[in-house]
Amino acid sequence: MNVGVIGSTGYAGQQLVWLLNNHKEVNISFLASHSYSDNIYSSIYKNYRDFMQDICINIHEVYESLSSVDIVFIALPHGKSMEITKKLLSKGVKVIDLGADFRLKSLKMYEQWYELSHKKKDLLTESIYGLPELHKDSIRNAKIVANPGCYPTASILALAPLIKNNLIDISTIVIDAKSGVSGAGRALNLGTLFCECNESVKAYKVGEHRHTPEIEQELSLLANKEITLLFTPHLIPMNRGILATCYSRATKKLSSDDLHDIYREFYFEDYFIRIGEDIPETKWVRGSNFCDIGMRFDKRSGNIVIVSAIDNLIKGAAGQALQNMNIMCGFDEWEGLNFPSMIP
CATH of domain 150-312: 3.30.360.10
Helix, strand, coil tally for the chain in percent (to 5): 35, 20, 45
> Residue ranges of the domains in the chain?
2-126, 150-312
- In the set 56, 150, 246, 291, the catalytic residue is 150
Domain spanning 2-126: CATH superfamily? NAD(P)-binding Rossmann-like Domain (3.40.50.720)
CA angle 211, 96, 311 (to 5 degrees): 55
Q: Is there a catalytic annotation at residue 150?
A: yes
Q: Are 146 and 128 in contact (CB under 8 A)?
A: yes
Q: What is the mean pLDDT of residues 8-28?
A: 97
pLDDT of 188 strictly over 80: no
Work out the angle between the directed axes of helices 132-140 and 319-329 (0-180°, nearest 10): 40
Instruction: Note the pLDDT tens digit of each residue in 122-173.
Output: 999 999 999 999 999 999 999 999 999 999 999 999 999 999 999 999 999 9
Give the CA distances from residue 269 to residues 54, 132, 216, 264, in Å, rounded to whole numbers and listed in that order: 38, 11, 24, 9
How far is it, in rounded angstroms, from Cα 202 to Cα 179?
10
How far is it, in rounded angstroms, from Cα 100 to Cα 255?
38
The pTM of the full predicted model, rounded to 2 decimals, is: 0.96
Among 27, 19, 18, 7, residue whose Cα is nearest residue 45: 18
Confidence grade of residue 26 (pLDDT, cut at 50, 70, 90): very high
